[in-house]
Structure 1
Amino acid sequence: MRRVGLGPPTAASIRSGGVAGRGRYSDRNHSSKDVAVIRSSLPLVVLLAAATTASAGALHGIHPEDLNRNGDACTDFFDYANGAWRAQNPIPNYMDRWSRRWQSGEVNKEHVRDILAELSARTDWPRGSAGQLAGDFYAACMDESRVDALGSKPVQPWLADVDAIGDKADLQRMIGKLHDVGVNVPFIVYAGEDLHEPSRTIAHIYAGGLGMPDRDYYLKTEPRFVESRAKYLEHVAKMFELAGAAPEQARQNAQTVFAFEKRLAEASLDNVQLRDPKLQDNPTAFADLPKLAPAFDWGTYFDAAQMPRDAVNVTQPKFLQQVEKELATTPLPQWKTYLQWHVLNTAADSLSTSFVEENFAFNGRFLTGATEIKPRWKRCAEATDAQLGEALGQKYVEKYFPPEAKVKMQEMVKNILLAMDDTIRELDWMDEETKKKALEKRSTFFPKLGYPDKFKDYKGVVVSRDSAWDNLVAASRWNVADNRSQVDKPTDRSRWGMSPPTSNAYYNPLQNEIVFPAGILQPPAFDLTATDAVNYGAIGVVIGHEISHGFDDQGAQFDAQGRLANWWTAEDNTQFTSKGQCVVNQFEGYFIEPGVHHNGKLVLGESIGDLAGAKLAYRGYLKSREGKGPEPTIDGFTPQQQFFIAWGQWRGDETRIETQRTMIQGDPHPIAKYRVNGPLSNLPEFREAFQCKADAPMVRPEADRCEVW
């Protein structure tokens, strides 16, 4: 579903970071703002319809009522598996996509809300305790009348501080001050594993500072990008007006911001290039940083950030050279305007309703197609999870992740890892030398299930009920400092990149770990009352997917110790690349509308993950039945059919066209229809389960069939 450890931090993944959030690659589409902004939603009715079971008290199978009985599994499995559910459950106005899986994620937020409501109802928690921090953070966020009464007042001192910049030294001081709370402009400094010695953590310098989703929104000439630029200029101007600028000055400010960001975009890698770890592997001695950006006082910056002056990795040297050019040539008034915009952009959702609504108008309504904003409780629950996720997570796992769930997941992970071993041994295109290395890497996989063994204590964070913005700044400052504290230390493998309530999963190649928070280990992905066929078809494919990331076009460049190092023979690497090209070609042929199709190179890693994930999970399921005998046919569906239907029903999102366009542009994940139909059309096991004819649309011709693992 997602990979961490590669690429710059972004808004929708690693939750333990600045005001704007941090992360790498996410299963969820996102713009430059936090996914909490653009995935608006309202309270929903919990739908947990149980499928008819073979007998009272028996484990249940798939949801037969979700099937499109007029459809055909061998023609369009995405439509067949849950077409009836999608027809009866249109995308809510506040969402950009919808399925049982997304519905489950929203129900999960109701669980989080209930915990936070209970915590915030008490005012006698010990100061600094998990209950006090999470409860007061949520309570301040929920005090809408106070937030509205304050308007833009909470952020005005920050805007004034930017306006007071008098020289280049002041400018650099302000950049550092913004970085302290996660406003990462124009670049990002983030602690992470050394690509060549991942047992050690170093500072990485990434490109940052854009207000639109990625560089292509500033540069491409297709009509949808031209329209995005026009909408963005309107949005930036309106935000400046809300902060007190006169209309004409606000429009001028927007032009200044756009021109500045466009120059940064021109110096940035595109989304496909960002998938190549070698392009971002530029270890640099601290003393050599001035060669890239001599106008920036790196010593003062690192000292103020309390980071050692150690070697760093500059992921995009060309970008840093552009920052140097801006420091040398761009007038201070333009810098001020640019920085003030990013303060406003970051703060918008912690300010009054007018800011929230304008922020949603661009990042929600325009970019995703959602027409209503989420209720305040949901946005506040997401914000609390984003900033204090492990304080909240302690309470979450107590209620929603029983010990037997962890035991069951451990068994499933074990079986699917063993299936990967079998698959590697059976490959006819890989020689014994490379197989040995692949098996060695597989043997070092490190699963994390449910929650950390040790929760963060958030010591020193001061949270009150007085100001939602001040709380956000305080929590962000702690998270940034916590990340920086890891620089030049042995990598702490106990740390997690997601909070326990998160409904997502990830693979980190630098630690060779697969991670499944408790939030995703809920129905319909994982259900202790479901058959093994259903669980292996849903969460099992996700497990296989994350394992496969260790061997996709990116993960395969990292060895058993997590080092960016080649472990392939030249001939095997050529074979592997050729097999990946088959997947590229397949997804290049998937269109969302005339003239707009997937970029096969962009979605290659995730598509290899889906293809191998389904195969591995199926083999893992067969292992789970060894010595037990087959599971029963339920509702007329064999266990094999239940397995594949479970995948189609869990993954079967209906997605707004606006979101599909954004995904096509920058998301490494294909849209749901092709995540279902694409991999399954390559699997003989699927064809056999549904007795599809050789010329059926869901059966790719043998000459075009893709198999990587």
Structure 2
Amino acid sequence: MNFKKLHYGILATTVLVSACNQNKDQADANAVPGFDITSLDSSYLACNDFDGFANGGWKKNNPIPGTESRWGAFGILDKENKEVRLKGIIEEITQKTDRKKGSEEQQIADYYQSFLDTATIEKRGLEPLKPYLDQIASIKSLADYAKVAGSLQKIGVSSVVGYGVEGDLRNSKINILYEGQDGLSLGERSYYDRQDSSTVKVREEFVGHVDKMFTMAGFTESNPGKTLLAFETKLAKLQLTNVELRDPVKTYNKMSFADANKLMPDFDLITLATQQDIKTDTVIIQNKAYLQNLNKLLKATPIETLKSYSKWQLLSTFAGYLPQKFDQEDFRFFSTVMRGTKEQKGRTERAIRSTDRLLGMPLGKLFSAKYFPEDDKKKVSEMIENVRSVYGERIDKLTWMSDSTKAKAHKKLKAFTYKIGYPDKWKDYSTIEVSPDKLFENVISASLFSNKEAVEKIGKEVDKSEWHMTPQTVNAYYNPLNNEVVFPAGILQPPFYNRNADDAINYGGIIAVIGHEFTHGFDDQGSQFDDEGNLKNWWSASDRENFDKLTKKYIEYFNGIEALPGFKINGALTIGENVADLGGMTLAYHALEKSLKGKPEPELIDGFNWKQRFFLGWAQVWHMNTTEAALRNQIQTDPHSPATARINAPLPHLKEFQEAWDCAPGSKLSLPDSARIVIW
């Protein structure tokens, strides 16, 4: 299966800061400071550009490494977790000589070795692809194409439609099959129709990239790049935009599989599913019109074009596991052209990350045991309950919501559950076949495992103990179907959570992150799910109208922010994350304020009072340097606003910020009370 699932309110993995080891037994002399004052740049006024003021020094001293397209708190900590900590764990395993066949240690060590065995990879060339290329060569009709596309999807290769399995949005306790649009190499339809010079250049580079990959593979098609760009451009025009995909009501169309199949009479969706071992009578269709129009497009498309498209998807999917020339060309286009990354990571670093992608949970088990003190779980639990308490108080004070809807909001808030650090139970990965000299087959084995796991869930009860991130991930998420917030061990480290920092810094960091995830339960998407995780309206009509008016104003506010010349933030695409940022900061600030009641005023630290340090804590979590290419890509495809906007944009709507920094009326980050948007 290769369907991109709907991700409701996942915190950005696209931002980072100083990631230093913070083990429990680490000497105080090596403790990470709550806030490093060398990050400051006094040439900026805090009330005009808080990012510049709080992070200007850091940005000057931390240029983007050649191997990265963006550099900040998330990435630095991710590098520490993966390229230092996981590396140590993997190398320790590889030195053992008594690894049992089928054990996690054997799988980890042998996969790692297979990725490093470049001599064998070069010797084998494209031989591993031959069985799949033979399947593609056999296509003579749309019926054949559906069969081959399904076979390829089973090993993770995209096609024009895809399947996925998750809880039913209207019956969240049971897993169901979803169908959705797929198949755009550039990732988002705006890349196919924008006419600015940078996007046009990307399309031109894509044509050249496809041509080169086909030539290196010995494929004989004439002008494959132009052919595939033309096909994908037609495909893109049929698809919903990334903003339209945010509407869970619009994209929920439950029907019998037989009726769904009638939408594409010339391309058998059941055949596509059967090839992936899918057996079900019911499916949720993302967009009926897409399937109907896609059927017309496929009928009008030469079979040879569909064969070329399939060969391209196969080659592109596995380029990183093929001989160096394919790997390097794939990196050149998707990383350098698309995101501005200048150089590829070393083979060892990539081997670690590839092992993490395929065997992340077995590695996560070892990572958690070594790097996540149990005391932190208790502390984070207390933080979560503090945020829950303050959120309840905020709901009671809302002037735009009626008492009846407030009661239901409280019910949902009370039902929130959470997971911290790592899973309570671990999956069994022993059926994944891993050999030290067969990288491609190892990847296929892992893909088949994932497909089987997903297929077997259809129609069964949702396992609410399951994690959708590994423990070493520097991220967090809210899952509306479980009504839960999840905080992996990977993010519970400085600068997000620093046990040696003052409360103000931690509240501006990890508490604001917790508040961010809580707020996702009440953003434009999450607010449509009830306390049991079902897509069900629990609002009065007038309250929903009030909420929509507020979010519309916030959308318009962000629409006016230009991140790059000619590239403004898409307020409708980023509204969920923007609401969560505003809510997270609001909740964290008032939770900090509440914690200090009845206590002596905290002393100044580095010349800053606790109110100011709260906002410094927020700013350092999101400090970032980004290449222009990566920033353009983020604006077009990412539901998260760029880092500078995440820091600065919410601040004018927080009266507490203006008071903390004594901002004069007319300052860029100051608004009169009448213009502030207060949602939660």
Shared fold, TM over 0.5: yes
How much does 1:697 deviate? 1.6
2:624 paired residue number:
653
- Match of 2:572, SS state, is coil
Pair 1:433-2:418 in alignment: no
Residue 545 of structure 2 corresponds to 574
Once the two structures are TM-superposed, the CA of residue 625 in structure 1 deviates from its matched residue by 4.1
**Stretch deviating more after TM superposition (74-83 or 99-108):** 99-108
2:82 to 99, 109, 122: 109
Q: Counterpart in 2 of 1:35?
A: none
1:530 alignment counterpart = 501
Match of 1:34 in 2: none
One-letter amino acid matched to 1:242? M
In the TM superposition, residue 146 of structure 1 has moved relative to its aligned partner by 2.6
Report the AA paired with residue 704 of structure 1: A
The 3 A distance-change label for structure 1 pair 25 and 274 is farther
Distance, in Å, in 1 between the alignment partners of 2:302 and 2:394 is 59
The answer to whether the aligner puts 1:9 opposite 2:30 as a matched pair is: no
Structure 1 gap ranges (5+): 1-6, 15-22, 31-38
- Counterpart for residue 292 of structure 2: 321
Q: Which residue of 2 aligns with 1:632?
A: 603
Whether contact under 8 Å (1:82, 1:649) holds in the other structure is: yes
1:19 alignment partner in structure 2: none
What SS is found at the alignment partner of 1:283?
strand
- Pair 173,380 (structure 1): closer, same or farther in 2 beyond 3 Å: same
CA distance in 2, matches of 1:378, 1:627: 51
Question: Counterpart of 2:474 in 1: which secondary structure?
Answer: coil
- Mean Cα deviation higher: 591-600 or 428-437: 591-600
Structure 1 match to 2:366: 395
Greater CA drift, 604-613 or 699-708: 699-708
The answer to which of 165-174 and 499-508 deviates more is 165-174
Q: 2-side partners of 1:280 and 1:174: how far apart?
A: 27
**What does residue 422 of structure 2 align with?**
451
Paired position in structure 1 for 2:68: 95
TM-score (norm 2): 0.94
Any residues of structure 2 matched to 1:20-169 within 5 Å, and which?
27-28=12-13, 60-110=33-83, 111-169=85-143
**Residue identity opposite 1:91 in structure 2:** I
After TM superposition, give the deviation of residue 681 of structure 1 in Å: 2.0
One of 177, 185, 207 as aligned partner of 2:159: 185
Once the two structures are superposed, what CA deviation does each residue of 1:382-413 show, in whole Å capped at 9, x if it has no partner? 22222211111111101111101111111111
- C-alpha RMSD over aligned residues: 2.5
SS at 2:457's partner residue?
coil
- 1:217 equivalent among 175, 179, 191: 191
Measure how far apart 1:350 and its partner are.
0.8
With 537-546 and 166-175 compared, the bigger mean Cα shift is at 166-175
Render the CA deviation track for 1:605-637: whole Å, top value 9, x for unaligned. 111111111011112223444566554322222
How far 1:300 sits from its partner (Å)? Answer: 4.4
2:486 is paired with a residue whose SS is strand
SS at match of 1:538: helix
Larger deviation, residues 699-708 vs 617-626: 617-626
Q: 1:624 to 1:323 in 2, by over 3 A?
A: same
Separation in 2 of the partners of 1:239 and 1:59? Answer: 46
Q: Give the 3-state SS of the residue equivalent to 1:493 in structure 2.
A: coil
Amino acid in the other structure paired with 1:68: D
Tell me the CA shift for residue 243 of structure 1: 1.0
CA distance in 2, matches of 1:8, 1:529: 43
In structure 2, distance between residues paired with 1:624 and 1:144? 56
The alignment partner of 2:164 has SS state of strand
Equivalent AA in structure 2 for residue 592 of structure 1: A
**Quick one: which of 231, 239, 242 aligns to 2:205?**
231
Secondary structure of the corresponding residue to residue 681 of structure 1: helix
CA distance 1:245–1:364, change in 2 (3 Å)? same
SS of 2:250's equivalent in the other structure is helix
1:557 matched to which residue of 2? 528
Partners in 1 of 2:389 and 2:22 — Cα distance? 33
Q: Deviations over 1:291-345 (max 9, x none)?
A: 2122344444444433332311001222222342345443332221111100011
CA contact (8 A) 2:9 2:478 kept: no
| Structure 1 residue 224: Cα displacement | 2.6
Q: 1:442 aligns with which of 413, 417, 426?
A: 413
Matches within 5 A, 1:554-633: 554-625=525-596, 629-633=600-604
The yes-or-no answer on 1:464 pairing with 2:441 is no
Give 1:290 deviation, angstroms.
Answer: 2.1
1:326-337 matched pairs, under 5 angstroms: 326-337=297-308
Q: Does 1:174 align with 2:174?
A: no
Paired residues of 1:205 and 1:315 also in contact (CA < 8 A): yes
Q: Deviation at 1:660?
A: 1.3
Quote how far apart the aligned CAs of 1:262 are.
1.9
SS of residue in 2 equivalent to 1:561: coil
CA distance change for structure 1 residues 59 and 367 in 2, over 3 Å: closer, same or farther?
closer
- The one-letter code sitting in structure 1 at the alignment partner of 2:178 is H
Seen in structure 2, the aligned counterparts of structure 1 residues 56 and 400 have a Cα distance that, compared at 3 Å, is: closer
Aligned to 2:664: 693
Question: What is the distance in 1 between the residues matched to 2:480 and 2:206?
Answer: 35
The CA deviation string for residues 401-433 of structure 1, in whole angstroms up to 9 with x for no partner, is 110111111111111111111111110111001
